[in-house]
Structure 1
Amino acid sequence: MEHGAEAIRKHVRVYITVFVALLFLTVVTVAVSFLEVSVPVAIVIAMVIASFKASLVACYFMHLIGEKQLIYWVLIISAVFLLVMLLVPVLTGGDMLTSADVS
């Protein structure tokens, strides 16, 4: 493991880059909130952005980027589960608009 001044600068550069990316994604989240989209679509967009932000934090600040292959399988399974959970409101959101009161 490197401990020199150049290695420290390299790590600091990575952390600053991740920080700037997190700031950018936060600005994107706020900008998306002003879009005229339906609530289910807005939720999906917000969750996708939040997932990217969480991935950056987990990979770099929690040092999971250097983990073994098992962590990637857990991440892939979690991402698939997240996509399924995000699709549920999108696919069922139209049901409330098209269903009629049957009383």
Structure 2
Amino acid sequence: MQHEHIDSVKTYALVLIVLLSLTVLTTWVSFIDLGNFSVVAALVIAVTKMLLVSLFFMHLRYSTLLTRLVILGGLMWLAILLLLTLTDFFTRGWMGVPGR
């Protein structure tokens, strides 16, 4: 028999308020020119919202070790793809392009 972990309505309401607040903060940051920090601020807010949704609404806090490993593998694969993309982007000017 599996035990179901049910959070209280108060917890879900608090997470909802935090998610809505972060959405308002994302909109507010989009109208302010922070230079290169705008992208960093938006990504920090997005990752925070992703963690809240996955931990509370997808119940990853109570998941098995295998589920956590699968999610960790997916996040590591995402990091590899981002690293390879950034490597390509930052090294494009190293070699001259023939004809230019």
Which TM-score tier does this pair reach, normalised by the shorter chain? 0.5 to 0.7
With over 3 angstroms needed to count, the CA separation of the structure-2 counterparts of 1:63 and 1:85, relative to structure 1, is same
In structure 2, the partner of 1:73 is 69
Cross-structure match for 1:83 = 79
TM-score normalised by length of structure 1: 0.60
Superposed, 1:28-43 pairs within 5 Å as 28-30=25-27, 31=29, 34-37=33-36, 42=39
Match of residue 59, structure 2, among 40, 56, 63: 63
Post-superposition CA distance 1:53-92 (Å, at most 9, x none): 2332222113232121111111211121122222233333
Secondary structure in structure 1 of the residue aligned to 2:8: helix
Cα pair distance change 1:94/1:57, threshold 3 Å:
same
* Percent of aligned pairs with the same amino acid: 30
Is 1:15 equivalent to 2:7 in the alignment?
A: no
When normalised by structure 2's length, the TM-score is 0.61
Gapped regions of structure 2 (runs ≥ 5): none
Structure 1 or 2: more helix by fraction: 1
Q: Which runs of 4+ in 1 moved over 6 A?
A: none
User: What is the distance in 2 between the residues matched to 1:35 and 1:99?
Assistant: 32
Number of matched residues?
93
Q: Which has the higher contact order (CA 8 A, sep 6+)?
A: 1
